[in-house]
Structure 1
């Protein structure tokens, strides 16, 4: 290690990791999450000055997205960027995190752990039914877990982010018509993260989900129609079990329209034809900043590195690429200032958060020096693979410029979204790939266990023994304990000196609202940073 890196390591090792805390139901402390007050860049946007508006029923909300939905690769048990509305409107989990890691009951009436966190008992609310009228049963929940563990059994190819969690369950049994018991392989401090993420659908009609014909969930809006390449339509659920708590659903329905590209979507918004764009293009959101709703940081846009590639085996080369990234440009030019410059996945409320990592770490001259020390040479360009949507084309193009600025030749390779996801799951990227991840706002060890770029095995083929030991030590301990903080410090050193991911910019949800949209004032922490569609309504 060179002197500059040694100094940095000593400086970071002296810093205490900071974070806020919330207590979980069973009494174990877990990391606190970003609160609802951080979700809006302008909470009063779209409202008449001096008037207190009351929610009204009626109207159809017109949503928009660029890519078509993906229903055949494990939805809804995998959270896909291609399904922003589909992820949230028709389905729900057993519990959710509203603005902290304190679980709030959704489909569950009760969630209890035994003293050593090796068992959980969950009781469903009485009278719950799916959109098709069938009762919600423990068997429906068991179905989702079985599908995650055995996807081929259900005609699905690929792996699931939640599979690591599912493998911790050694036994699940039905106690009675509404109660189920789970046994874990060892004490697990973060299993509520699974129950807050895994949605429930009617097991007997899952083939309709795979074929895009229906989604028998329990959420505030009912799947009505999917016309591939054109639209996705939902209608209000008149029997939603959370109406007394949330007030809605207020809308008659939601119609999501698909656009060929961001420019076409932007023109439709500017013409007044759209009410809501989730994950809005930064360039468009910047022009209408007063109408945006910005959620808390959930993870990173990153470049993954295949550490078995002959070009990337040397950690000095990977460190050089880490230092070659101009993160100020990614955040302020491509991201239009939505988010902060950072090299860490953690939000400020995480116990793993380190303020020293809220910096660019951009040093192209040091990067060139590391390449020289490594004796780096190329017989071919470094391949950077990316989705073909314009956002990822832009990100990959800037990354290519950054690499070439330090003397590393690179070429871009675009892949359609479904094929890209298949390659990610199958770990088939040759050198470098660009995508994004979430889940860093949950318990830190959850990020390591379930998120594709961190879990073992991962697409980078990264299995450093120190990293494996960190995950093992964190698996059963209080995430706010002194021992946990020591493990977060070890991770930070590894992250900087033996990188397998290159942080580019934070992932923060940016929603763009139409002038008539009201009630979009909250993002849930889990599932998936979902907007609270139970409170959204439309003014006349």
Structure 2
């Protein structure tokens, strides 16, 4: 009797599971419906002080939903497209920019958008206190003419070939509520979704902006749910408790890529990279030969295969293949343990090296373990140190890592000068590795001031930058993962910015 009951129960469970899958498949292929709330899972909570930096999915989701930028870039180019700026003119010397602003745009509280808001946003972003990684670019603006509410004229102290990168990244914020911004209490923009409330450690709620200048979203709203454990996130997606994973594991993506009940979305053009940084002032890492040896010893092919399930490309330089700075002959990482040992022998005894990684990232944990095993082959002892993500970003900004660290970086998808003038790991003035090098700084300036980022002189500057990056190895590139996320099969129309922010303005559900 017990055996019979067990068989009946098993059959019922199988039937229920099959029925649920069938319902999900039907919904994925169903008719569009209005309404619904997009539930997004992320591992890290919002950090108000880092909203401008966009270092985590939580900050990027907030800016992508709530705010607009002056221009946007298509996924496949750096040809700026109108957003809040409808058209623009650049003077022949590149020092004056006139932007014509869109009329009849309002903030979520009903206040009209004007040129004064552009001035406030760019000036605020330029303040290093707010962690905007392109602050150095914004600081080039020396004068703002806002006499016309629908036009702004900017004057620069010097030419910069990435000024439109800045315009595509800086969110246009509301000056009247900025005191609440810094406390995480209020975020008022002109975007497709309005901020409702943030419950720290739990979730952020958004509702659709029915008065959005580019058309009201079809869904009612969105929720960003903080779920620190990536395995739990995936389970909740599969059970229907989530609609989208902002930071899914490659193995989970691989598990559902052929399933009709889920969508795997590739965010082309967003240039994701994973790297090992080196604090060049930390004991054992001062000598570039040690850093070169680490780069030679790291088994990138193993990282690509085991950690990223072959959904990545091994790299030794930070550029995506479509970047003008990409050099196929230079970006050809080869593991050479014998040469790495020779370099270590030249230096002598190496103290124990700490390898830090985000405590909520299984990917980075696995990479840190592989690097540790690789360095053991060189006779270098390591200490693995999991660190809470917000603390890691603080260490990244302040250059206070005790040794090596594993993280991801962006900005290589923009004009090459943006990475080396702006990104925390690479900034030639102040970077996370405490690396200072006159020739590197000079070549950064060459890459930045050249009017045409695709010119011969610019390409020559990029080659010199690549030599510095390989010889100094203060940033050790590891892999370029495929930029992907998972959604439920009945969620459609997702877009993204060049930066990787979610664009839900055109999403809809089917049933």
The superposition leaves residues 171-228 of structure 1 with CA deviations (integer Å, 9 ceiling, x where unpaired) of 2231311221111111222211110110111111012222222210111111112122
CA-CA distance at 1:409 after TM superposition: 0.9
**Range with bigger deviation, 353-362 or 407-416:** 353-362
Map 1:25-424; keep pairs closer than 5 Å.
Answer: 55-71=32-48, 73-76=49-52, 78-99=54-75, 100-150=77-127, 159-243=131-215, 249-290=217-258, 291-296=263-268, 298-375=271-348, 377-378=349-350, 380-391=351-362, 392-424=364-396
State the TM-score, normalized to the length of structure 1.
0.84
Aligned to 1:457: 430
8 A contact 1:77–1:148 mirrored in 2 = no
Distance of 2:310 and 2:63 partners within structure 1: 26
**For the pair shown, which has the larger CA radius of gyration, 1 or 2?**
2
SS at match of 2:41: strand
Would you identify which runs of 4 or more consecutive aligned residues in structure 1 move more than 6 Å?
46-51
Distance of 2:35 and 2:191 partners within structure 1: 18
Distance of 1:502 and 1:87 partners within structure 2: 29
CA-CA distance at 1:398 after TM superposition: 2.1
Question: Could you say if the C-alpha distance between residues 170 and 54 of structure 1 is closer, same or farther in structure 2, counting changes exceeding 3 Å?
Answer: farther
CA-CA distance at 1:77 after TM superposition: 5.5
Distance of 2:170 and 2:55 partners within structure 1: 10
SS at match of 1:411: strand
More helix, by proportion: 2
8 A contact 2:136–2:422 mirrored in 1 = yes
Distance of 1:96 and 1:309 partners within structure 2: 40
Distance of 1:337 and 1:289 partners within structure 2: 14
Question: Could you say if the C-alpha distance between residues 48 and 347 of structure 1 is closer, same or farther in structure 2, counting changes exceeding 3 Å?
Answer: farther
State the TM-score, normalized to the length of structure 2.
0.89
Unaligned stretches of 5+ residues in structure 1: 1-45
Distance of 2:55 and 2:404 partners within structure 1: 22
8 A contact 2:308–2:481 mirrored in 1 = no
**Range with bigger deviation, 270-279 or 207-216:** 207-216
8 A contact 2:396–2:425 mirrored in 1 = no
Distance of 1:514 and 1:78 partners within structure 2: 25
CA-CA distance at 1:451 after TM superposition: 0.8
Task: Report the count of equivalent residues.
Answer: 479
Distance of 1:396 and 1:83 partners within structure 2: 25
The superposition leaves residues 238-275 of structure 1 with CA deviations (integer Å, 9 ceiling, x where unpaired) of 011112xxxx5111111222213112112111212211
Distance of 2:341 and 2:486 partners within structure 1: 41
Distance of 2:125 and 2:252 partners within structure 1: 37
8 A contact 1:299–1:345 mirrored in 2 = no
Q: Is residue 2:393 matched to residue 1:433? A: no
SS at match of 1:385: strand
SS at match of 2:314: coil
